Structures are given as C-alpha cells and as structure tokens.
Amino acid sequence: MQKRWKILPSHTTATDELHNSLKINKILCNILVQRGLNDFNKSKDFFRPQLSELHSPWLMKDMDKAVERILQAIDTNEKILVYGDYDVDGTTSVASMFQFIQQLTKQVEFYIPHRYREGYGVSKMGIDYAKENGFSLIVSLDCGIKSIDLIAYAKTLDIDFIVCDHHLPDNELPEAVAILNAKQVDCNYPYKELCGCGVGFKLMQALSEKLQIPEESYLQYLDLVSIAIAADIVPITGENRILAYYGLQRVNENPSAGIKALMQLAGVQKVMYITNLVFIIAPRVNAAGRMDDAKKAVQLFIEKDVNKAMEFSEMLHSDNTDRKEADSSTTLEALAIIEKDENNINRKSTVVYQEHWHKGVVGIVASRLIETYYRPTIVLTKSGEYIAGSARSVAGFNLYEAIYACKEHLLGYGGHFAAAGMTLLEENIEAFSNAFEKVVSETIPDELLIPEIVIDAEVSLKDLTMPFFNILSQMEPFGPGNMRPVFVAKKLIDTGFSKVVKEQHLRFSVKQNDIHFTGIGFGMADKYALMQNNQLVDIVFTLDLNEFNGQQNLQMKVIDMKLSE
C-alpha cells in the first residue's frame, strides 16, 4: 500500500538551546522540542517522572462530595456497588476500586454489565440488581456521564450515584451526588486526559489522604492503571506518563497474581512495555466481554490465590483464542465480499454485512479491513431483531459526523471521531450504505485515503549508536502524545546480504558511507526488488535492540522504503 511520508520540521534555535543545557544528541533534542519539552526542567520531569508530581486529587470538581458520601456509607454500614464497563478500562477500574473499598468495609460488591444483554455503560438491569440486593450507593467507573435518565431512575429507588468518568460530558449532566470528570467545563483539574481507571485512582488517592492511611493502599493498583492507560489509547503525557511509568515498574517487578498469570500463559520472558500491555494483556481482557462475560476479568484481577488466578487466566486465554478465530474468519469473508464487488475500486468507504458474524469482533474486523482498503469502514451483523455494527475511521476523518449525517437510516448510534457503533433495521442496510458512501466521498480529502507516516527526523547511520539508543529508551513509555520516534535514512545501498526470509519478510543489510546496518521489515518481501542493481533507497524505521546468542546489536525495524530521489 502506498504511503505518504511527512517529515516534521526542525526547530534549530530551540534545539540548540536545549542541546546546550542537556548535552545530548541534537537529533534527540529536536524531537523533545517537537513534543513541547523545550527547556531543561520540562525535559527533566519527562525523563525522571516522580509520583510526588501527581496533582492533588482535591483539585477535581466534586472530589470532596464523593469522598464525603463514600465515608458516610462506610460509617452507616450501607452497601456500596462498584459498577464499571466491560472493556479493559472498566474492568481494571472496578478491580482496583473494589479492592480499595474492601480495605475499608466488607459491605461492597462489584457489577459488570453483560455486553449483549445490557449494552454499554449504566444499565437498568444493573440498577434493578442494586435495588433488589439492598445497595444504596453506586460508584460508576468509566461510564455514567451520559446516563441521565438511568441515574434519575436510580434516585427514585433511593440509590445515590458517584460518577467517575473521562468521556466528554454533554451540556446536561446526570443527577449524581458527585461527578468526577476533568473534562467538565467548570472543573479546574489541571490534567484532562485521565482514563476511567485514572479517575478512580484519584478518588482512591483522596480517600487515603482523608483517612490518613498509607499511600500503598492505592499505589498497589498502579499495574492496573497502566494497563488501562495502554488499552484505552489515552495520551501518555503529563500525569498519565507518571502513572504508566510506575505502573509498568509494578507489572515487571511485582504484578498482581492475575496479571502474572496472564503473562505466564502468554509466554512473556522479557521486560513488558506499553506495546506489550496493548497486544498481550488487553486483548485477553477484552476477549472476556467480547466472547462471554467480562465479570471474570475482574475476578482475575482481584484474585490473590496463584492457582485460582491461573484458572481465570486460562478462561480469558480461551476466550481470546475464540476471538482470534472469529476475527480471522470474519476478516477473510469480508475481504472476499469486497473483492467480488465490481464497484469497490471507486468507493471511498466500506460497508459489509453478514448476519452470522460475531458481534464481539466486528470492530476489530473493521480495523483489519482498513489495513487492506484504507478508508472509513463499517462492519455489520445481526443482533437479535436488529442489525448492529462497528465503524472505524482513517486518520484525520471525523467518522461520527459522517454517521450523524446518515442518522435517518439508523435506530441508534454513538461514538467519537475515530470509532463508532450503530443499530438499524435490516431493510435499511443498502440505503445506509449508499448514504454513508455519499457523505464520505463528498467530504473526505483524497490525501486522507493514503496512510501517512509521520517521521520525527532524518538521520545518518553514523548517528545510530548505543548511547543514542540508551537515551532514546529513556523516552519510554511510548504511546499517544509520545510515540516511539520514527526516523528516515536516505541514500542507503544493499551490502549484498539483504534477503527475503520466510517468504514474506525482508532482512536488510545496508550501508551509507561505509557504515553498515541491519534491519527487518515484516511483510515487506515485495520491496526486495527495489534493492537490486545497486539502487539507492530511503528507509523509514524505528530503532530496535536485537538480542541473539547473548549478543546485543542495534537494528532498524523498517516501516517503509522507496527509491531515493
């Protein structure tokens, strides 16, 4: 697939000033400046995150009310229900908050709605469960900010709500005792990008300060917070960077029994990074809700017994295996449908439907299809009497607005800029598909249909030294807002030792002014021809450490390549 290369501009003056104070490679200084770290103190805070730099939880609007209501419930022996969504952010939020409150009272339980019986967020079934079982306070995590009618319904049953959420609030807010959400327009909390588990963490921090109990009472759940940060794809900047940094330390040095069991089953033998949490831990946790019941993900996270934790881990592992099989078969079917459509080549969107596809994987499949056909994509399946679907966008295109423009064909919809969901009647699929294609084709700029690679800096092979890599590694944890730096090296030539491996990957061996370097390009065997006949090539890559037979060598992890101009 053709890609656009965008090399970020250099900031010469600011880079020189930062270089004078940091005394590190100018290329790295320029990357720091690009990321807003343009002086010594900002860079110091970035490279040396400190828990002492976390903001006071009392800066968050309604924190005093939330703490007061929880302590009142504990003092009067009320039953508290910790309620969260069925994804990674929701289950980690519930697991940490439930265990924390359990240190203070035994009158606490947790509740995770069933993805298919109850749907996303606060449910009537969940509120009715609370009423039938004598709960008078619900603490909702990663959901609730839009549950105006349901929280009003709970109030008629004498059930109070404390909402801990990070999704963008509407103008009208639910009638909760307290709403903890830094994105409220009148909330002065300095950092706005916490995930749901992060908001719950701040509530635990405030409760521990109020009760004057040890910090470890809430810091012990940092491993769960880091998993939520990774899985929910929130910016790893500011406070999230501190939480992720120390959370990863716990994952690697002293994880809970459940996380340790998941890592064992996945065969983890090396240090865990954010990418490992995204690709190893998160899919297994999400699979519980996609394929069955996410309650067992919470049970895994709160389990102290190693053997029982392994049993729950095996359940999640099994769900993930089922999810991968459904994901793979559905993707192949969807690609076959697209390829048979003669009009497909001219379309600027994809909408595919089969009634037997598993509802739990349609969002994943939409993302998979974008890897082949880079355009806004919707995958639909049958769900009871209706058709349900998930949509995924390409970078820079507002998917939610496009779906909103087609709302006359839908029963319901929701989502945000990059992802959305919808329900509709089966007889409206064709009309919706045509309307969606019309909106996308009229509004999407052509360049957004070509994936863009953002390149941080051009480098020479002589720049790529072990000291350079060691400082680069200290920029971890990488993620949104602080992505792993991407480099381009130009006018490289094959040494004669580059080759295709396992029929689909390309092992690079290149040189530039007598400096030799190796690299690997996964799935790039088709690019091998570009390196023949002593042709010069430009290579886009990230820098990686390859360990083999006890030897450590730097290598390129190649993203793209083209002939030099």
Which CATH number covers residue 345? Answer: 3.10.310.30
Examine the pLDDT at 368 and tell me if it is beyond 90. Answer: yes
**Are 73 and 217 in a shared domain?**
yes
- Residue at 182 is within a domain: yes
Tokens encoding 234? 């929130």
Whole-number pLDDT of residue 473: 95
**Are 181 and 104 in a shared domain?**
yes
Amino acid at residue number 406? C
User: 506 exposed, middle or buried (CB, 10 Å; 0-12, 13-18, 19+)?
Assistant: buried
- Residue at 334 is within a domain: no
Neighbours of 19 (CB within 10 A): 18
pLDDT per residue over 349-365, tens digit each?
A: 999 999 999 998 999 99
Domain with 13 in it: what CATH number?
2.40.50.460
pLDDT per residue over 198-215, tens digit each?
A: 999 999 999 999 999 999
Q: Are strands 178-180 and 160-164 parallel, antiparallel or unpaired?
A: parallel
**Are 200 and 298 in a shared domain?**
yes
Number of domain units in the chain: 3
Residues 539 and 487: their CA atoms lie apart, in Å, by 8
Q: Which residue has the higher pLDDT, 125 or 270?
A: 125
Whole-number pLDDT of residue 305: 95
Examine the pLDDT at 251 and tell me if it is beyond 90. Answer: yes
Q: Which of 268, 300, 316 is where one domain is finished?
A: 316
- Residue at 125 is within a domain: yes
Domain with 266 in it: what CATH number?
3.90.1640.30
Residues 556 and 482: their CA atoms lie apart, in Å, by 19
How far CA 243 is from CA of 21, 198, 271, 347, 483, in Å, comes to 27, 8, 17, 43, 17
- At residue 75 the predicted structure's pLDDT band, cuts being 50, 70 and 90, is very high
**Are 384 and 439 in a shared domain?**
yes
Instruction: Judge whether 73 and 137 are in contact, CB under 8 Å.
Output: yes
- Residue at 34 is within a domain: yes
**Are 381 and 466 in a shared domain?**
no
Whole-number pLDDT of residue 269: 81
Which residue from 4, 54, 46 is spatially nearest to 22, judged by alpha carbons? 46
**Are 436 and 538 in a shared domain?**
no
Whole-number pLDDT of residue 402: 96
**Are 422 and 493 in a shared domain?**
no
pLDDT per residue over 85-128, tens digit each?
A: 999 999 999 999 999 999 999 999 999 999 888 888 899 999 99
Which residue from 221, 554, 10, 255 is spatially nearest to 264, judged by alpha carbons? 255
Q: What is the mean pLDDT of residues 442-447?
A: 96
Half-sphere exposure (Cβ direction) of 403: Cα atoms closer than 13 Å: 29
Which residue from 328, 342, 433 is spatially nearest to 379, judged by alpha carbons? 433
Examine the pLDDT at 342 and tell me if it is beyond 90. Answer: no
Whole-number pLDDT of residue 41: 94
- Residue at 329 is within a domain: no
Q: Which of 399, 415, 449 is where one domain is finished?
A: 449
- Residue at 323 is within a domain: no
- Residue at 557 is within a domain: yes
**Are 135 and 238 in a shared domain?**
yes
pLDDT per residue over 18-69, tens digit each?
A: 999 999 999 999 999 999 999 999 999 999 999 999 999 999 999 999 999 9
**Are 17 and 108 in a shared domain?**
no
- Residue at 129 is within a domain: yes
Tokens encoding 194? 């916490």
Instruction: Judge whether 401 and 363 are in contact, CB under 8 Å.
Output: no
pTM score: 0.92
Mean of all residue pLDDT scores within the chain? 95
Q: What range does the domain containing 131 cover?
A: 57-316
Whole-number pLDDT of residue 341: 86
Q: Which of 449, 469, 492 is where one domain is finished?
A: 449
Q: What is the mean pLDDT of residues 155-165?
A: 98
**Are 160 and 269 in a shared domain?**
yes
Span of 131-145, 239-253, 540-554 with lowest mean pLDDT: 540-554
H helix runs in 121-176, sequence order: 124-132, 148-156
Amino acid at residue number 451? P
- Cis geometry, peptide bond prior to residue 477 (ω within 30 degrees of 0): yes
**Are 285 and 346 in a shared domain?**
no
For residue 402, the 8-state DSSP code is: H
Whole-number pLDDT of residue 30: 96
Which residue from 106, 145, 100, 147 is spatially nearest to 126, judged by alpha carbons? 147
**Are 291 and 227 in a shared domain?**
yes
